[in-house]
Amino acid sequence: MLTLLALSALAADPLVTEASVHTLDNGLTVVLEEDTRSDTIALHLHYGVGARDELAGEYGCAHLFEHLMFEGSANVPTNAFDTWLTEAGGWNNAYTSADETAYHMAFPSGALDMALFLESDRMGFLLAGLDQANLDNQIKVVLQERAEGYANPHGRDFDALGKLQHPVEDPYHHSVIGTVADVEGFQIDAVRDFWTRWYRPENAVLVLVGNFDDEEALARVEHWFSDVPNPGPADRAWSNKGKSPRGGNPPWFVTPADGVLEDQVQDRSLYVSWQIPGQSHADMPALEVLSWVMSGGRGTRIDDALYYDKNLTNDASAFAWYSDLDGVFVVSASTTKPKLSKIDKAIDKTVAKLSSTPPSEDELKRAKRSIRSYLESMMESPEDRAEQIAACMRMYGKPQCLDDFWTQVDAVSADDVVRVAEQYLVPEGRVSLSVVPPGDAGALEGATPVELK
């Protein structure tokens, strides 16, 4: 019997979930998946608000709430959130992107009520704890976080690249954390208004994965969240205006440019970035295969051309990054040897060669194995599964999407890879960022300074 059970477990597709979806009367979406491999429960709470939803004067506010949400609410004193959860054997964290804010935690199954109480209280009643003192405290914390991040070597690179990739009117132009002036300018009334607009049940997805009974867990969720007021859905439509996942044809949403950032670094780095479609676009599987054909160790094209065969760089990578409204395909490399113009030419030559030398069958198989391994790693632990289920709900309205994505990836042909390369990795959608030490002359010729305030 044990052998049969083990074989059955091994035969199960790790990309498949049996999660159930429920909607409370106040509009909160709840997703539950039992996982009895341990006594742990993972909770992931997604809110549909990110940096792209911020109005002028609010830049950095979505990220600010990643901190303020731990400062206390109607029934949870300042700093008690972390203390109470830790004493119950749990841990928690949060993150903010351009598209979402997420709060996640894991805890023993016996602490489910504590975790649900803490999350429900700040979802419904945070304003009781959102005062000037807590705001002032978290402004200092965010400024310190920003200063420390920017002080790290290459800590400013992706904010600078984002400014080049997205024009001023684009909702992705400004950084998630905001400028110093943005953060210092937060006023209590405006901050409270931001929370009121976005932190509401109909703009959230709560996922639980772990050791519980579905019916009992749903009853506990209803107990703790049913009194959270329902002001209705959040109005996110304005942040989509003028920009939607494009079908791959001009007009482009980017002005081709070469930028340079002088920073306290010991090497020179080059980022070459092209705009691609965002999450859920039909070309996403082919673009993902392309990224793994280009980079993933010896035998992949960018890695060989820049590092293994030519020894031009200290490292090299290529990856596709997808946001809700668009994405970027990035090739990056760092060097202490030649000027970046030599690396730039090698990148362009490697990309152009795809048309005349399509990926071989072995290259495709290797890329797809890498993608499959990565997808399975996203569904290993209860915490991983909860996050991915929330992502599927956010993008597709269902808890299971990785199996469909894998089917699409597995069907990608060499012709598909060449087509997306020729369609998206083109001069009209390309920007570059040279990152060099102060006073270094190794940036691409004509590159203009990128200012980060």
Greater confidence (105 vs 428) lies with 105
The model's pTM: 0.92
Q: CB-hemisphere CA count at 13 Å for 281?
A: 24
Tens digit of each residue's pLDDT (9 = 90 or more) over 54-67: 998 999 999 999 99
Question: Which H or E run contains 87?
Answer: helix 80-87
Span of 148-157, 168-177, 187-196, 362-371 with lowest mean pLDDT: 168-177
* Residue 160 pLDDT level (bands cut at 50, 70, 90): very high
Whole-angstrom CA distances from 340 to 126, 260, 333, 363, 447 are 50, 11, 9, 28, 11
Helices (H), 249-339: 284-294, 301-303
Q: How is residue 43 written in tokens?
A: 């909770």
Span of 146-160, 233-247, 378-392 with lowest mean pLDDT: 233-247
- For 80, residues 6+ apart whose C-beta sits below 8 A from its C-beta are 72
The answer on pLDDT for 10 being more than 50 is no
Question: Which residues does residue 34 pair with via DSSP β-bridges, in sequence order?
Answer: 210
**Extents of the domains making up the chain:** 17-240, 257-449
Q: Which amino acid is at 135?
A: L
pLDDT reported for residue 223: 98
The answer on pLDDT for 241 being more than 90 is no
Q: Are 373 and 353 in contact (CB under 8 A)?
A: no
Greater confidence (370 vs 242) lies with 370
pLDDT reported for residue 253: 60
What is the average per-residue pLDDT within 119-129?
97
Rounded to 5 degrees, what angle do the CA atoms 256, 278, 349 make? 45
pLDDT reported for residue 338: 80
* Residue 246 pLDDT level (bands cut at 50, 70, 90): very low
The answer on pLDDT for 245 being more than 50 is no
- What is the assigned CATH class of domain 17-240? alpha beta
Q: Which fold has domain 257-449?
A: Cytochrome Bc1 Complex; Chain A, domain 1 (3.30.830)
Tens digit of each residue's pLDDT (9 = 90 or more) over 180-200: 999 999 999 999 999 999 999
What is the average per-residue pLDDT within 89-94?
97
* Residue 325 pLDDT level (bands cut at 50, 70, 90): confident
pLDDT reported for residue 236: 83
Question: Which residues does residue 104 pair with via DSSP β-bridges, in sequence order?
Answer: 44, 93
Query: 109, 105, 106: which is closest to 70 by C-alpha?
Result: 105
